[in-house]
Amino acid sequence: MNVRFKTPLRGIHIGPKCIDGSEYGINVDAHAHITGTGREFLGFVCAKTLTNLRELLVHEIGHLAADTGHDDQWRKSVRRLGGRVPAAYKRHPRL
């Protein structure tokens, strides 16, 4: 596996609140810190629980590798990490 990280993975935090103390958003089970004012948290992946951890980590580490949201670069990173892009995040043709 050859994936270059634009934002290096610094750590993984698992708990009911984010590493920065904030609450997770509605329907959010995990996220990656790739931007923001809290630079001390850049590179961290936060997850609520251990449930589906592998899939969540591949998804979120894909964000760190691509340094972006759910776009083509992110999809490429997820595939390089050995993950599958869920249907909800597949590229949809414009109508």
Indicate whether 5 belongs to any domain: no
Indicate whether 30 belongs to any domain: yes
pLDDT for 8 beyond 90: no
Indicate whether 43 belongs to any domain: yes
Coil, strand or helix: which one is 30?
strand
Indicate whether 88 belongs to any domain: no
What range defines the domain where residue 65 resides?
11-83
Indicate whether 25 belongs to any domain: yes
* pLDDT attached to residue 11: 93
Domain count, the chain: 1
pLDDT for 30 beyond 90: yes
pLDDT for 93 beyond 70: no
| Lookup: tokens for 83 | 């993950």
Query: With bands split at pLDDT 50, 70 and 90, how would you rate the model's confidence at 95?
Result: low
* pLDDT attached to residue 23: 94
pLDDT for 94 beyond 70: no
Query: With bands split at pLDDT 50, 70 and 90, how would you rate the model's confidence at 36?
Result: confident
Indicate whether 4 belongs to any domain: no
Indicate whether 36 belongs to any domain: yes
Which of residues 85 and 35 earns the better pLDDT score?
85
Number of H helices and E strands in the chain, helices first, is 2, 3
